[in-house]
Structure 1
Amino acid sequence: MRHAPDALMLFAAGFGTRMGALTQDRPKPLVEVAGRPLIDHALDLVEKAQIARTVANIHYRGAQIVDHLSGRPIRISDETDRILETGGGLRKALPLLGSGPVFTLNTDAIWTGANILRQLRDAWTGSEMSALLALVPPENARGHQGKGDFSVAPDGRISRGTGYVYTGAQIINPAGIETIQEDVFSLNLLWDKLIAEGRVFGLIHQGGWCDVGRPESIPLAEAMLEEGDV
């Protein structure tokens, strides 16, 4: 059983429909920000955090992602036949990730400031945590539409609320994910179970974060990168 996480699930299987014409001929992780594909920005975080094992899932135009990652030590969890969402995708990838807690990271965001994966690892306490989610206040969530996702108690535990936005980076212990009956499901199902047990915590990122889910978010992300920390 691994206690300090050293494996990461990179979510790269989405359709990217909100990107419109930009994803007609490519998957969203290959959409460029500041001249580089989104997935490469994510992998910069992974490499600098020196995480030992990375698994990427694929579905929409997945062959392009496989080609792009060729030559890198990244394993592929193939969802070509059926996209499984975040929860189902993580569960399918577990044989490649190994046992114990894992990082998960979305590929549709840009970060500045301290490496969020290192921050999560430094704050992780497996004895009391089953999940540690990276959050930002709504006013720091560039490109994000809608209210926040979670409230954070003084002891760091989170509950459903609007005080903070989930950024798509976390450490989670997937123990119990096998009991979820659905094949296709969001990690929200596992989070809700763990929140009820008081074992989900939040970490507030102090740097910049931009949700690059729509074309109009690309210039916001590029401006943030030019500014550096915010």
Structure 2
Amino acid sequence: MKMFFNRWAAVGGLLLVFTANGYAQSGFTVPPGGTSNLPSGSSMNLACAALTVQGALNMNSAQVDSANAVTIAASGAVDAGQSTITLSGDWSNNGTFAAGTSTVVFNNGCTAGPMQLSGNTVFYNLTLSSTSGSTFVIPAGSNITVNGTLTLQGTNGQPITLVSSSGSPAVINLGPNAHVNQVNTNLNNVQIGAGTNSQGIPTLQTWGLLMLGLLLTALMVWQQRREHS
């Protein structure tokens, strides 16, 4: 039978808080030059503390819950695999984030203040959600891209708000097969890109090709009538 104690210990970059039911993480840091592999199917609760990656973090299909800030340093590299990361603070990526088919979820579980994204990040699934009308700051001039599903979720009477980090418009780009689920959301100087699965407005080039096709068809009909007259 496993025994747990109400104490803490630092183990391999983790600060473990032991309780009667198991343990929660109150901090997770991968130091420069270090490598951390999370077991597939495992779950780690950061108890509203930070996840900081300065080395290499391989997440496989693990689940990281209740992170405060997530920081990927310039020396850091995250292979997200099929994992899920849930955070309630800022996302700062100055290193490498390989999204795989992972899901990153922002909510207000640890803070009610604005949550800010910074740096260039390509996500697979990205969720920005709140039950208290939180604000999400989207970086202007950075590449924020979603290749899977972008979910923007507020509640009735408490919509979430997406704002640009500066006076310039901020954009969340969508990959070719991306989808958007948007409910109770206000966009303030933030543009959501259109995936190719959406029906777009025909361009001048499209209309030109269509007109050329019609003209060629009319010319063929006229030529046939002339030959038989």
- Structure with larger Rg: 2
More strand by share: 2
TM-score normalised according to structure 2 size: 0.22
Higher relative contact order, structure no. (Cα contacts within 8 Å, ≥ 6 residues apart): 1
TM-score normalised according to structure 1 size: 0.22
More helix by share: 1
